Amino acid sequence: MKKLANDFINFSHSSKSVFHVVKNTADILKKNGYKEVLGSEKWKLEVNGKYFFIKNDSSVIAFSIGNRDLSKYGFKISGNHTDSPGFRVKPNPEIIGDSYLRLNTEVYGGPILNTWLDRPLSIAGRVVLKSENIFKPKTILVNIDKPCLIIPNLAIHQNRDVNKGIELNRQNDTLPILTLVNEGLERENFLLKLIAKENNINIDEILDFDLYLYEFEKGSLVGINEEMISASKIDNLGALYASLGSFIEAKDFNGVNILACFDNEEVGSSTKQGADSNMLLNILERISLSLELDREEFFCALSNSFMLSVDGAHAVHPAQSQKTDPIIRPKMNHGIALKVTANQSYTSDGYSLSVVKQILEPNGIPYQYFVNRSDTPGGSTIGPISSTHLDINSVDLGLAMIGMHSIRELCGVEDLMSLKKLLENYYSL
β-partners of residue 313 are 400
Within the chain, which residue ranges are assigned CATH 2.30.250.10?
Answer: 86-215
**CATH H-level, domain 2-84+232-427: superfamily:** Zn peptidases (3.40.630.10)
**CATH H-level, domain 86-215: superfamily:** Aminopeptidase i, Domain 2 (2.30.250.10)
What integer pLDDT is reported at residue 205 of this predicted model?
Answer: 94
Cα–Cα–Cα angle for 25, 408, 423, rounded to 5 degrees = 40
For 352-392, strand residue ranges (E) read 367-370
Question: In the predicted model, what is the mean pLDDT of residues 245-259?
Answer: 96
Phi-psi group of 344: left, alpha or beta (phi > 0 → left; psi -120 to 50 → alpha; rest → beta):
left
Within the chain, which residue ranges are assigned CATH 3.40.630.10?
Answer: 2-84+232-427
What integer pLDDT is reported at residue 14 of this predicted model?
Answer: 97
Q: How confident is the model at residue 257 (pLDDT cuts 50, 70, 90)?
A: very high
Query: Rounded distance, CA 397 to CA 97, Å?
Result: 47
What does the pLDDT look like over 229-245, one tens digit per residue? 999 999 999 999 999 99
Question: In the predicted model, what is the mean pLDDT of residues 201-216?
Answer: 95
Q: Is the pLDDT of residue 184 over 80?
A: no
CB 363 within 8 A of CB 276: no
In the chain, the percentage of residues whose pLDDT exceeds 90 is 91
Q: Is the pLDDT of residue 182 over 90?
A: no
What are the backbone angles phi and psi of residue 368, rounded to the nearest 5°? -150, 170
CB 423 within 8 A of CB 242: yes
CB 241 within 8 A of CB 10: no
For 56-172, strand residue ranges (E) read 59-65, 75-81, 86-97, 100-108, 121-129, 138-143
Confidence (pTM): 0.96
N residues, the chain = 429
The DSSP bridge pattern shows strands 256-262 and 75-81 to be parallel
Residue 80 burial (CB count, 10 A)? 29
Q: How confident is the model at residue 134 (pLDDT cuts 50, 70, 90)?
A: very high
Question: In the predicted model, what is the mean pLDDT of residues 355-377?
Answer: 95
Q: How confident is the model at residue 315 (pLDDT cuts 50, 70, 90)?
A: very high
Query: Rounded distance, CA 277 to CA 260, Å?
Result: 13
User: Looking at residue 305, what DSSP letter applies?
Assistant: -
In the chain, the percentage of residues whose pLDDT exceeds 70 is 100
Question: Average pLDDT of the chain?
Answer: 95
Q: How confident is the model at residue 193 (pLDDT cuts 50, 70, 90)?
A: very high
Distance of CA 395 to the CA centre of its chain: 18
413-427 helix and 234-249 helix, angle to the nearest 10 degrees: 40
What does the pLDDT look like over 264-294, one tens digit per residue? 999 999 999 999 999 999 999 999 999 999 9
Query: Rounded distance, CA 371 to CA 324, Å?
Result: 8
What integer pLDDT is reported at residue 387 of this predicted model?
Answer: 83
